Amino acid sequence: MYADSFSDSSVSLKWNAVDEADSYAVYRNGKFCAEVFENSFDDTNLKNDTEYTYTVAAKNSDGEFDLSSPVTVKTLYNENSRILADQNFENCSVGNFEAENWETLKTGNASVSIAAIPDLYDKSLLLTAGRNEKAECTLNFDSASDDSKIIIDMDMMVDGEGNIFSCAPYISDSQGRQILKFGFRDGYFSAFNDADDTSKAENIIKYERGRWYSIRIIYNPVSNYYSVYADGELITSVDGSKILVPGSAPSSITFRTDNVDGNTNNYINDIRVTASESSDVTKVKFEKDSYKLYEGEIYQPNVYFTDKDGDNVCRAYNTEFSSQNSDVVKINETSGEINALQKGTAQITVKSQYNGKALENTAVVSVENSSDIPAPQSLCAVTVRNYSLELAWNDMGGVRIFCKTRG
């Protein structure tokens, strides 16, 4: 494996194909990053001037093969970017936390402190709160006065007892208006598309307690759009025009732990806020380079216009879709809805126009046979929350993916 090319925010990897492989698992810094069906991978939305280490393993029906030798790549320094805030807590003393440009708020026995987590040489900010308590910490930074793209990076981990309702960063503009709420809520990564109506929450994917997540939030002023990533995977894109006054930009980020029914710990580390030169649309692309579906499954992919850095500008429009192998995958020409018909592989294509410029991109759909998989048994709702519920059913051994329908 080797780095074929790299920039300030992306790395392109290539490796020798393995004859027995059906796909490849890519790992970044020891964490699973993506599954691809070709012997190459483009990793985007990376921090500039930062080292990343990659390994890859071939996969087939028997499982994963051995990992490759690691490859370490350092992204380029972006001379057009400005660091507005950079806090890793390494030089802070363990215990109570006070620092310039930070404001704290605590109720009851809640606390804001520095913890030797992951270890004494890599400390983190810790917000702890119990029932009816709140711990809050706000980092203020200079708002970019021009039309810069704002990138907020952080590592976050949540653990503790009871149901975790809200452990979140809230992003505000220079007038103190909340312009994006995101975080760990009711057992899920959540993003709000309306600051005044918390019922309009998108519960995207379930998170694991006690696990660190690398979070990236990108505000693109070209379209007033926010994109939220966890471990490099796009969780959601939020139309900021509904909650953000055009022309304003982020100037603070508040970490808050509250509305919990047991002692909850929220760890935050390696916070960096960067202002980067924004650009207009250069590509149209599917949310993923590859999809794995099962026979009979129907999936609605998201398609975005992206800028020169590969960051989402907005959802794509005026799109046309086609399938290279319609016997395997049928795709709706206008909506892009995918219908997996039978086992095999198909390439899907999206075409669009932006400001008179023709754009086109592709993705690969792999369809697996599901005829010999029995139906799950004993389905029940084990936990019902305000805005979500948790379902459970009997263990089915080697089955690792379930298709869920609602309504």
> What pLDDT was estimated at residue 55?
95
| pLDDT by residue, tens only, the chain of 407 residues | 999 888 888 899 999 999 988 889 899 888 888 888 889 998 887 887 889 999 999 988 888 889 999 999 999 877 767 888 888 898 889 998 988 889 999 999 999 999 998 888 889 999 998 888 889 999 998 877 667 888 889 998 888 765 555 667 778 877 777 777 777 766 677 766 554 554 455 556 677 788 888 888 888 876 777 788 888 777 777 766 655 555 567 788 888 888 667 788 889 999 988 888 777 889 999 988 888 888 888 999 989 998 887 888 888 999 999 999 999 999 999 999 999 999 999 999 999 999 889 999 999 998 988 766 778 888 999 888 777 788 888 877 656 667 777 77
Cβ-based burial of 382 (10 A; exposed 0-12, middle 13-18, buried ≥19): exposed
Give the pLDDT score at 195. 47
- Which regions of the chain carry the CATH code 2.60.120.200? 82-276
Q: Where are any strands of DSSP class E within 46-177?
A: 51-60, 63-64, 71-74, 82-87, 95-96, 102-106, 111-119, 122-129, 135-140, 149-160, 166-173
Name the class of domain 82-276.
mainly beta
Domain with CATH 2.60.40.10 in the chain: 2-74
All CATH 2.60.40.1080 domain ranges in the chain, comma separated: 283-368
Q: Which pLDDT belongs to residue 229?
A: 84
Secondary-structure percent of the chain, ordered helix, strand, coil, rounded to 5: 0, 55, 45
CA distance 282 to 123: 40
Q: Which fold has domain 2-74?
A: Immunoglobulin-like (2.60.40)
Task: Give the pLDDT score at 49.
Answer: 84
**One CATH from 3.40.50.970, 2.60.40.1080, 3.40.50.300, 3.90.50.10 for 283-368:** 2.60.40.1080
Note the Cα 320 to chain centre separation in Å.
26
**Can you count the helices (H) and strands (E) in the chain?**
0, 36
> Distance (Å, rounded) from C-alpha 401 to C-alpha 394?
14
